[in-house]
Amino acid sequence: MSTPASNQLFDAYFTARSMREVFCDQGRVQAMLDFEAALARAEARVGQIPQSAVAPIEAACRAELYDFAALGEAIATAGNSAIPLVKALGKQIAQRDAEAERYVHLGATSQDVMDSGLVLQLRQALGLIEADLGRLGHILAAQATRYAGTPLAGRTWLQHATPVTLGMKIAGWLGAVSRSRQRLQELKPRLLVLQFGGASGTLAALGEQALPIAQALAGELHLCLPEQPWHTQRDRLVEFAAALGLIAGSLGKLGRDISLLMQTEAAEVFEPSAPGKGGSSTMPHKRNPVGAAVLISTATRVPGLLATMFSAMPQEHERSLGLWHAEWETLPEICCLVSGALQQALLVAEGLEVDAERMASNLDLTRGLVLAEAVSIALAQRLGRETAHHLLEQCCKRAVAEGRHLRAVLGDEPQVGAELSAAELDRLLDPAHYLGQAQTWVERAVAEHFALNA
């Protein structure tokens, strides 16, 4: 619900609208009400409450019936969102059926409502994130294949190293996406579970019907029933947060690479252009990497939020004071930030603009020095490693000092000429012939991606 005090100026930039809808006030309230309606159905199924009470309870479990502003005010006194919501729910039910009101929330505690409601929200969030990761994987697989043989300077310690290919770089991004998809699949059975323990986790208020009700409730919500309630065992949520943190970091890596390749001095790869995108308020020529900025920003912000989730793990005894509360806005915010980064990554990856000629030109900035290793290895097989390395080191120094291309210096060096022909030197100093297994890495990353979709 939007109010004059809402802070929405940056939402479109940092958060996907679909994810914000999951974690907006209505989304939170509806998830808790879904728990209450399912609890009534489960308890009626095993005979704990009369079947006649279910319909009035279900009819009141609609978020649009409640005043979120009033709930917000009540939370400040109650200490959590479930207490005032259950009270308001009881009033709604009593207006229709005073008898049914007696059976609402029977045997549950406020944390059951909030945690199970959160899990229902996380299931939606997980679906959105998985879908976006899958789409991003498809795009990156296509781009990696397209540019599998396009050479560009490898860069180590921000300096030109031996050549790589753009496809290999993209395949690195793709591999990280695939691993994140695998992690999310693996954690689902641990994350998507019911929270239902009552006051202290024993469900004592429900007597012998406790386990049958818990089983029925899990079935109603399509969640797994864990081995026991997890009120103060928060590893499930923290594992999910950590997986999201890894996604944020991997997307940040993508954004960092793109932003560096977009620098004026490199100008090799660009985010897609669009009217009004990436401009400056004063400099008409600017083309700023606005998508990459979100990816880097998210990778910077999420670790601090993740630290909060880890810090909140040592919760006291059977129900926590303060540490549980620290999770309420933290995990949803992580979900929202990652969703926004994924939206930007999809836009950037699909619309990549590549200047292969600039890549080739940049590869030659050092006048052949980036391929000195290739010549050194070839000579090592004839002169020995130490001799060859020393010889190439001297030739490289001479090329720099004289401002000449390494090919020319090597051509003038008798010791080199005695071992390598002009044609051999030309081949050794051609970046396209020193790409190693770059093509193989692309093929393997793409194959792994498609295996996840099989």
Return the SS3 of 104.
coil
Q: For residue 160, list its beta bridge partners.
A: 155
What is the C-alpha separation between 339 and 125, in angstroms, rounded? 9
Annotated active-site residue 297? The verdict is: no
CA distances from 356 to 149, 153, 350 (A): 11, 11, 17
Cα dihedral 201, 316, 321, 85, rounded to 10, equals: -10
Is the Cβ–Cβ distance between 262 and 271 less than 8 Å?
yes
CA distance 278 to 293: 10
Kindly name the residue from 200, 273, 280, 361 that is annotated as catalytic: 280
- Residue 354: strand pairing partners: 269
- Stated as kind and residue range, the H or E segment containing 269 is strand 269-270
Three-state SS string over 126-190 comes to HHHHHHHHHHHHHHHHHHHHHCCCCEEEEEECCEEEEEEEHHHHHHHHHHHHHHHHHHHHHHHHH
Q: Are 29 and 85 in contact (CB under 8 A)?
A: yes
319 is catalytic: yes
Among 302, 116, 316, CA closest to 222: 116
The single residue listed with the structure tokens 């923290």 is 238
Burial per residue of 50-76, b for 16 or more beta-carbon CB atoms within 10 angstroms, e otherwise: eeebbebbbebbebeebebeebeebbe
**Catalytic residue (one of 319, 367, 398, 404):** 319
Q: How far apart are CA 422 and CA 433, in angstroms?
A: 15
| Contact (Cβ atoms closer than 8 angstroms) between residue 150 and residue 356 | yes
Please state, in angstroms and rounded to a whole number, the distance separating the CA atoms of residues 234 and 286.
47
Active site residue ranges: 280, 319
